[in-house]
Structure 1
Amino acid sequence: MTIFSKITGAVLGATLLAGTAGAQTLSMAVSAPPASIDPQYYTLTPSIMLSAHMFEGLVQRDENARLRPALAASWRLVDDTTWEFKLRPGATFHNGAPVTAEDVAYSVARVPTVQSPSSFAVYTRAITGVEVVDAETIRFKTASPYPLLANDLATVFIMPRSLGAGVASAAFASDKVAIGSGPFRFVSYAPNDRVVMTRNDSYWGTKPEWQRVEYRIITNSGARVAALLSGDVAMIDNVPTQDLGKLRTDSRITIAEGTSLRLIFLGLDVFRDGATPDVTGPNGEALDKNPLQDHRVREALSIAINRQAIAQRVMENASVPTGQFMPQGAFGYDPSIAVPRYDVDRAKKLLAEAGYPNGLTITLRGPNDRYVNDAQILQVVAQMWARIGVKTAVDAQPLATLIGRLNRFEASAYLLGWANSTGEPSTSLRSILGGRGPNNGLGLSNYGRYANAAVDEITARGLATMDDGAREKLLQEAMRTAMQDVAIVPLHIQKSVWATRRGLTYTPRVDEQTLAQEVRTAK
């Protein structure tokens, strides 16, 4: 048992299977739709986990985010700035073509060319040169020592170079283009409904038990649970907290749960000097400056939130209150960063000191279809802010709509989640907390446009430090600096909860991914 995961519930009997042992179908329901079949389109967990069924990187992560070989059988550091990867002999794409170093070079080169709401380019930014040594050997150059290249490349999916330059993301909704090397092959895609896949019997690794997978998208929590209980599906993810107690005692169901690497947080517009669109005075009057640029206002908004109450009453203990991105026990977790203490009186005092003794009016935006109890959390935060004189209107909407608004920087305060699925905090330090700049690859998901040169400099030093212990201390320092600055308002780390029909097992993953190839029948 790891620090992250445990499995609860008895494994009993048989489950929803179709056909014989050689022709089984697994029907599973996930809570959030992928943005695209293109595995390089969007750094969104629902998209990445679907891609992981059909596509592979050079390396992959196990259930505890540790690296293990995938299309690369091995890798090594040739010198301080050169990494060499040796490809796995015999690995082939779904069209039968062998996976070669040229395909890897093509895939890496494509990443920054994809028009994306949140680009995978953050994972290829360190690469300054690519050398194809032979069909099974590729080398990557970096401008300076960069210890996390293998980690980054675990998130870059490889596709055949025969797809050609400029292949559009929309084209991947076809088995002629959605060609990977993973354990399942693409069959069909009905947006917001389901993806159908079949087993890749030529797969180089352990073949899944399932010949066919019905990967259904059921965003409504009640409908997802009902589908499980009726036998319409054999597995669901993101079990709603209000149903956990009932499902734990149902002999037909097995529960798997574990702490994830996903932080739920509030982002704030700290960029604009003048008025910010969703913040006005206490009576709706226009402001000539942005209150969120004041550290005292940001701290007041943070300590006005009772994180323990949210974890216990809203999340039914399916979350862990936090003041940072990493959970306890993970690489980069800093025990000196405390969970912000709930203090209404101090919050009011800070607002008054900042020049807002009568409070403010804010619109808090967030998704209503992506994170566990996201819409409820928005409402509870709004109620808590009201206690310090911050009148809060909630705008909960589908994530796809929200992201469009955030990409246009049209929100002043918003709720999002971020999973450091690499198992360490560098991705959040770069993508969420990194200062945006021309071609610097930082801040790609930093919609509040927070910028702190000290955070970026310490992070850069950490990413150039090959010694794990020294690198961890630098990344902790960078996170500590950003959290002291209230760069964002962390709320809690989500726990991940899956439910299966009896007779199936699933090992919880810290990256929250729901993978059909990891669903097994009980022995």
Structure 2
Amino acid sequence: MAEKDSLELAWEVADRWHWFYKKGLISRRDFLKAVLVSGGVTAAACAPQPAAPSQPAGEQPKQPAKDTISAAFGSDLPNLDPHMHFLRFGIIFHYHVFDNLGVRDPKTMRIGPHLATSWKPIDPTTWEIELRRDVTFHNGDPFTAETVKFNWERITNPEQKSPQRGNHEQIAGVEVVDRYKVRVHTKSPYPIFVERLQNFQMVPEKVIREKGDAWFAEHPIGTGPYKFVEWKRDQYILTERNDNYWGPKPAFRYFKYVVIPEVTTQIAELLNGNIDVMRAVPTDQVNTINNSGRAKVVSQRILRTGFVGLDARGRTAPNPFMDVRVRNAANHAVNIDSYIKSLQPGGDRTPALVNPMAFGYDPAIKPHEYDPDKAKALLAQAGYPQGFEVTFNRTNASLLPNARQVYEAMQRDLEKVGIRAKFQVHEDRAFTDMVSQGKGGPMYEWSWGYYSVFDADGILWDMLHSSSPFSYYQNPELDRLLLEARSTLDEETRKRLYSRAQQIIREEAPAIFMWGFHQLWAVSTAVNWMPDPDEIDKFYTAKPA
């Protein structure tokens, strides 16, 4: 979409909110706030679109001598259905095979059109979306309004059991207006509707109805810049450039998702020229990689937030962390600032889970101070003067740089106050299922990327609302605050609600609060590519060096 069209879209959305105001459907305050909240709509749409390589659509790329870009990942995917996972590695892979209705411009951080060419609110709870007319799935099936309706109905269907259902709980229904236009009805005014468009991949209705979910989970068919070729479980997933892609074509003919669990092996493969990109580079390996002449390390502040989950509900089994004094003791026992300074490439404290990059973050919420004596006193008050032993569940494929060193340092600090944590390390796919099924307690390593939604809703609802499969905490007042915050367009009201929510979270301490990640990637000198703040690695933008 040309910039002129994006400006027209921005003005049209603003005009619609103004019309609602004149008709008395919303207050003047709501009108002004709606325009601000729709920064992902009105102002965002002014960004050049689509946010993809600058090569003109339809133009054949110059074929590089190197025809494959390979990226290392610490674990394989459980399936290849974009609606049936919640893993960051899955989001990255699916961005290459599938398309979204909107995409984020990494320069402006705003959402602009992609499969959708425009959107506008036609009343406070209805959005009208216009679609591209030149898109087909890899098997030739057309992308239409019926496709969009099917996708929303599929992901919100309780029987589908999609782990992403919570992302779309505000969707009340979708109606087809014509072949390339839909109207999406929300249960209430939904402030992050447009944000959700950037991580909701479209799948083909006909294929899924004819072949079934199980077949599709191993044979993905999308509309994206790469087509699925082959999946060798626990080895690699191979895709090939979609030469019929409606948008700019990738420079590399193949994108290969390579499974390498060990970080040291990833580094060796990078320096030997067998892979082009790796994530979560240990800080003590930065100089080695940079001095190799074969690769360079790049840093990016990202939305992902790390924490140690505590089973405050006793969801896995009764445990000491069901006592709020024990949870606060654990937070006072660990020297978070020291870990960031000595073991991380940087990090932003998150005293109530919310990353400072997200809307709704309250800087007035202060982190727990490092105070072992206070931790011991709280444990004694809770009936644990001698401390206790506890299982600390971890993954073998952490996204945290220097994860082993960080958690071993935390383990030592906890032991000093009497909390004797014993590690149990699990294969990543089994670990994520274990946590989502309520078996992660009494304490477990975790991080969350918000589905790349730069809003407090992106973490607080998924991690702490009692309806979420990932929540090990229950508080009716917090549930109410989170629901109200995702149901109003008033920006100041949302900030106030999220501030109160964070006060509760800080006081109740349902986790050991850590930090927002500053992530390290290592990139081959044979490739020109940079990561984005949304943590969605888009290798279709890469070019040969």
Contact persistence 1:238–1:498 (CA under 8 A) = yes
Partner of 2:199: 155
Higher RCO (CA < 8 A, seq sep 6+): 1
Report the TM-score, using the length of structure 2 for normalisation: 0.82
CA distance in 2 between partners of 1:397 and 1:263 (Å): 20
CA distance in 1 between partners of 2:197 and 2:494 (Å): 19
- Residue 382 of structure 2 corresponds to residue 351 of structure 1: no
CA distance in 2 between partners of 1:117 and 1:143 (Å): 20
1:445 aligns with one of 448, 470, 484 = 470
The one-letter code of the counterpart of 1:454 is E
The one-letter code of the counterpart of 1:418 is W
| Runs of 5+ unmatched residues, structure 2 | 1-61
Contact persistence 2:63–2:251 (CA under 8 A) = no
Deviations 1:393-435 (A, max 9, x none): 1112222222343344332111111112111110211110101
Partner of 2:118: 74
> SS in structure 2 opposite 1:57?
coil
Deviations 1:299-342 (A, max 9, x none): 00111011122223333x34344323333344222111223211
CA distance in 2 between partners of 1:308 and 1:125 (Å): 37
CA distance in 2 between partners of 1:459 and 1:99 (Å): 35
Deviations 1:212-252 (A, max 9, x none): 22221212111111111111122222223221132234443
Partner of 2:359: 331
Pairing of 1:196-211 with structure 2 (within 5 A): 196-211=238-253
Tell me which protein shows more helix as a share of its residues. Answer: 2
The one-letter code of the counterpart of 2:96 is H
My pick for the range that moved more, 471-480 or 511-520, is 471-480
Report the TM-score, using the length of structure 1 for normalisation: 0.86
2:488 aligns with one of 450, 465, 471 = 465
My pick for the range that moved more, 251-260 or 68-77, is 251-260
Partner of 1:286: none
Partner of 1:384: 413
- Percent same amino acid among aligned pairs? 29
Deviation at 1:162, TM superposition (A): 0.9
Contact persistence 1:101–1:134 (CA under 8 A) = yes
In structure 2, the CA distance between the partners of 1:110 and 1:480, relative to structure 1 (3 Å rule), is: same
Deviations 1:15-62 (A, max 9, x none): xxxx94388222222233222111111111111110110111211223
The one-letter code of the counterpart of 2:255 is V
CA distance in 2 between partners of 1:70 and 1:469 (Å): 30
My pick for the range that moved more, 53-62 or 326-335, is 326-335
2:537 aligns with one of 489, 514, 519 = 514
The one-letter code of the counterpart of 1:484 is E
Partner of 2:264: 222
The one-letter code of the counterpart of 1:343 is D
1:270 aligns with one of 290, 312, 315 = 312
The one-letter code of the counterpart of 2:242 is N
CA distance in 2 between partners of 1:131 and 1:510 (Å): 34
Partner of 2:33: none
- Residue 427 of structure 2 corresponds to residue 398 of structure 1: yes
CA distance in 1 between partners of 2:150 and 2:438 (Å): 33
1:45 aligns with one of 68, 71, 88 = 88
CA distance in 2 between partners of 1:408 and 1:72 (Å): 35
Partner of 1:322: 350
In structure 2, the CA distance between the partners of 1:100 and 1:89, relative to structure 1 (3 Å rule), is: same
Q: CA RMSD in A?
A: 2.4
Contact persistence 1:23–1:212 (CA under 8 A) = no
Deviation at 1:475, TM superposition (A): 2.5
The one-letter code of the counterpart of 1:494 is F
The one-letter code of the counterpart of 1:426 is D
> SS in structure 1 opposite 2:71?
strand
Partner of 2:286: 244
CA distance in 2 between partners of 1:425 and 1:339 (Å): 17
In structure 2, the CA distance between the partners of 1:487 and 1:405, relative to structure 1 (3 Å rule), is: same
The one-letter code of the counterpart of 1:80 is P
Partner of 2:277: 235
The one-letter code of the counterpart of 1:414 is Y
- Residue 458 of structure 2 corresponds to residue 423 of structure 1: no
The one-letter code of the counterpart of 2:460 is L
- Residue 166 of structure 2 corresponds to residue 138 of structure 1: no
In structure 2, the CA distance between the partners of 1:41 and 1:385, relative to structure 1 (3 Å rule), is: same
Deviation at 1:166, TM superposition (A): 8.1
Partner of 1:366: 394
Partner of 2:150: 106
CA distance in 2 between partners of 1:340 and 1:166 (Å): 54
- Residue 368 of structure 2 corresponds to residue 340 of structure 1: yes
> SS in structure 2 opposite 1:393?
strand
CA distance in 1 between partners of 2:313 and 2:355 (Å): 28
Contact persistence 1:351–1:357 (CA under 8 A) = yes
CA distance in 2 between partners of 1:108 and 1:169 (Å): 16
In structure 2, the CA distance between the partners of 1:476 and 1:33, relative to structure 1 (3 Å rule), is: farther
Give the count of matched residue pairs: 480
Contact persistence 1:194–1:215 (CA under 8 A) = yes
Deviation at 1:111, TM superposition (A): 1.5
CA distance in 2 between partners of 1:62 and 1:480 (Å): 33
Deviation at 1:271, TM superposition (A): 1.4
Deviation at 1:118, TM superposition (A): 6.6
CA distance in 2 between partners of 1:326 and 1:245 (Å): 32
In structure 2, the CA distance between the partners of 1:272 and 1:232, relative to structure 1 (3 Å rule), is: closer
Contact persistence 1:195–1:216 (CA under 8 A) = yes
